[in-house]
Amino acid sequence: MQKIPFQTKQEWLFTTLRDMIESCELKPGQRLLMDQIASDFNVSRIPVREALLQLQAEGLVQMEPHMGAIVSPIDFSSASDYFAISRELQVLAVRAFCDRGEKADLDRLEALVCEMESAAGSDDMATYSKLNQDFHDLIAEKCRMPLVRTFMKTYQQHWNRFVRFYHLYPMREQRMKQTLKEHRDILEALKSRDPNAAEKASRIHNLTGLEDHLERMKKENGI
C-alpha cells in the first residue's frame, strides 16, 4: 500500500488554494480575505497567512496596500512574455535531451507522436491536447536538468490560468493538424541527437503556438 505523505494544514491549504487559482475557480483579481478563508476551510488565520505568503512567492497572489491579498491578475499583454519564458526553457530541455535522453525515452516520445497522429486522424482534439502536454512534459523530465523541470512546472501553473481564463483548450482542429509535423520534426531531431535542429524545431513550434493563442485570446476578449 502506498504511503500517503503527511501534510500540515498550511501545506494542504496552500495546495488547495493554488489549485483553485490555477483552475480560475478563484478568479484573477479576486480578493482573498483571511477570515473568510479560515472560516471556509475550518482553520486558524496562521496557516492561511502562511499559505498566502507562499502563493505570493510563486506569483499567484499579490499583496495590495489597504486591500490585503488578491489573486494575481491576468494581463493579455503578458502572454508573449510567458511564451518567451516557455520557449527558452523548452530550448534548454531539447538541447539537453539530445545528450542525455535514453533510447527508452525516445521510444516513449515516438509512441506519443503516433498516438497524437491517431487522435488527429479521428478529430479527437481533447485527447490530442493531453498528448501534446504529455510530449513536452516527458522531454522536460527526461532532459535530466532538474532546475529546468522545476522552472517549467512553475511556469505551467501560470500558463494554465491563461488556458482556462481564455478557453484555449482543447486546441482547434486547424492548430492540431498544424502541430503534427512540428512534433514529428522535434522528435526526429532528438532521435538524430542534433541539438541545433532540435532547437530550431522547438522555436518554430513555440512561435506558431503563440500566434494561435494570441488569435484565440483576442477573439475571447473581443479585440
Closest CA to 187 of 124, 107, 126: 107
Asked if 103 and 153 sit in the same domain, the reply is yes
Give how far Cα 150 sits from Cα of 68, 144, 154, Å.
Answer: 29, 11, 6
Residue 68 confidence (pLDDT) above 90: no
Task: Decide if pLDDT at 178 tops 60.
Answer: yes
Same-domain check for residues 90 and 63: no
The number of folded domains in the chain is 2
On whether both 23 and 107 belong to a single domain, the answer is no
Q: Are residues 123 and 100 in the same domain?
A: yes
Question: Are 72 and 59 within 8 A, CB to CB?
Answer: yes
Domain stops at, among 35, 53, 71: 71
Question: 121 pLDDT band (50/70/90 cuts)?
Answer: very high
- pLDDT band, residue 114 (cuts 50/70/90): very high
Note the Cα 70 to chain centre separation in Å.
21
State the pLDDT at residue 73: 92
Q: Give the mean pLDDT of 112-123.
A: 94
Segment 32-41 mean pLDDT: 94
Res. 109: pLDDT tops 50: yes
The CATH number for 164's domain is 1.20.120.530
| Same domain flag for 151 and 184 | yes
Q: What mean pLDDT is reported for the chain?
A: 91
Q: Are 83 and 156 in contact (CB under 8 A)?
A: no
Residues 42-52 have a mean pLDDT of 94
Provide the H-helix boundaries in 73-172: 79-100, 103-121, 125-142, 146-165
- 206 shares a domain with 125: yes
The pLDDT value recorded for residue 223 is 61
Predicted local confidence at residue 82, as pLDDT: 87
| pLDDT mean over 177-203 | 96
- The whole-number pLDDT of residue 216 equals 87
Q: Based on the domain organization, do 107 and 191 belong to the same domain?
A: yes
H/E stretch holding 62 reads: strand 61-64
pLDDT of 4: 45
Statement to judge: residues 175 and 198 lie in one domain: yes
Coil, strand or helix at 74: coil
Band the pLDDT of 2: cuts 50, 70, 90: very low
Which structural domain range is residue 196 located in? 76-221
Is residue 120 domain-resident?
yes
Same domain, 56 and 95: no
